[in-house]
Amino acid sequence: MNEILEVINDFIVPVIFLVNICFALTVVFIERKNPSATIAWLMALLFAPIIGFILYLFVGQSFYRDRMFGMKKEEDEVLTRVIESQKKELFTKAASISEPLSDAYKRMILMLMESNKAALTTHNQVRVFIDGNEKFSSLLEAIRGAQDHIHLEYYILKDDEIGTEIFAALTERAKAGVSVRFLGDGLGAAGPKKSFFAPYLAAGGKLAFFFPSLLHISHPRINYRNHRKIAVIDGKIGFIGGYNIGDDYLSRIPEWAPWRDAAVRVEGHAVLAMQIRFFLDWNYAAKSDILEFAPRYFPEHVVDPDARLPMQVVSGGPDTYWNPIKESYLKLISLATESVYIQTPYFIPDESIMDALRMAALAGIDVRIIIPSKPDHWFVYWAGYSYIGQLLDAGVRAYTYNTGFIHAKTIIVDEVAASVGSANWDVRSFRLNFETNAIMYDSTVSKELKHHFLNDLKVCTEMTPERYANLPKKIKIKQSVSRLFSPLL
Q: Which residues does the annotation mark as catalytic?
A: 227, 229, 234, 407, 409, 414
Q: Are strands 435-440 and 366-372 parallel, antiparallel or unpaired?
A: unpaired
Helix (H, G, I), strand (E, B) or coil at 418: strand
Q: How many CB atoms lie under 10 A from the CB of residue 295?
A: 9
Amino acid at 9: N
Report yes or no: 480 and 386 within 8 Å, Cβ to Cβ.
Answer: yes
> Which residue, 132, 322, 367, 145, is CA-closest to 241?
132
DSSP state string for 16-41:
HHHHHHHHHHHIIIII---HHHHHHH
10 Å CB burial of residue 421 (0-12, 13-18, 19+) is buried
Q: Which helix (H) or strand (E) is 427 found in, with range? A: helix 427-427
Report yes or no: 200 and 207 within 8 Å, Cβ to Cβ.
Answer: yes
CA-to-CA distance for 251 and 253, rounded, in angstroms?
6
10 Å CB burial of residue 219 (0-12, 13-18, 19+) is buried
Helix (H, G, I), strand (E, B) or coil at 230: strand
Helix (H, G, I), strand (E, B) or coil at 457: helix
Strand partners, 145: none
Helix (H, G, I), strand (E, B) or coil at 294: coil
